[in-house]
Amino acid sequence: MKLKMALTAVLTDATVQIHFKDRCSNYVTTTTLEIVISESQIQEAVARLAQLIQTDYKDQPLLVVGVLHGSFVFLSDLIRQMQLPIQVDFVRLSSYDEATETSGVVRLHHGVRTPVEGKNILVVEDIVDTGLTAKFLREYFEDLDAATFRICALLDKPVRRRTPVTVDYVGFEVPDQFLVGYGLDYNQRYRELRAVYSLDPQTDGS
């Protein structure tokens, strides 16, 4: 397996360029990511969504469920902006594997450990795309006798829907571009970036 090392990340207002050096051959490739949503826009949206959620649930207890892996950055920012009695748990699902297109079959790898019966559930997603994951989770929590079920997604890509779903809290509606950063990955890369960028998987050099 070739190991690649990120050499530099040059930030401008609009792009980040990441140069990768192949440790075996010294071959250097560059990936250019175009900014779609800035760090400050994200933080404004997080504060807005946290306020909405807090107002809706008032002082009711809430079980916040993050969908691994993409939601972990958004979830950790969101819960620190809310003043509510919350519990946090995670589920791990997959439908994309290494592909950029969903297989259409959602698989549950790890469910919640926290008791769900009679609780208000808020699922936190980085992105709702086809809606298949959201549909799966609604049925999963209904089967576990949750009292209420809502979804909060930083990004919503309604043009890609394959099934109708209600996304109760949306940060940004986005067009059909491949997006990375702030939790979203391409081949497990770029999750750590503070903003959301578009990437062309055909030309990605990482």
Which spans of this chain sit near ligand PRP (rule: CB under 6 A)?
67-70, 94-96, 102, 125-134, 185
Taking the least distance from each CB to ligand PRP, the nearer of 84 and 138 is 138
Taking the least distance from each CB to ligand PRP, the nearer of 145 and 176 is 176
CB of 69 to ligand PRP, least distance (A): 4
Q: Is 129 annotated as catalytic?
A: yes
Tokens of 89: 């748990």
> Left if phi > 0, otherwise alpha if psi is -120 to 50, otherwise beta: which for 169?
beta
- Nearest residue to ligand PRP on Cβ basis: 70
CB of 70 to ligand PRP, least distance (A): 3
**Exactly one of 129, 143, 168, 200 is catalytic; which is it?**
129
Taking the least distance from each CB to ligand PRP, the nearer of 84 and 149 is 149
Tokens of 2: 């070739």
Backbone angles phi, psi at 203, to 5 degrees: -110, 5
Burial status of residue 52 (CB atoms within 10 A of its CB: 0-12, 13-18, 19 or more): middle
Taking the least distance from each CB to ligand PRP, the nearer of 178 and 205 is 178
CB of 135 to ligand PRP, least distance (A): 8
Q: Which residues contact 62 (CB under 8 A, 6 or more apart)?
A: 53, 84, 85, 86, 87, 119, 120, 121, 122
Amino acid at 165: V
CB of 28 to ligand PRP, least distance (A): 27
Residues that are catalytic: 129
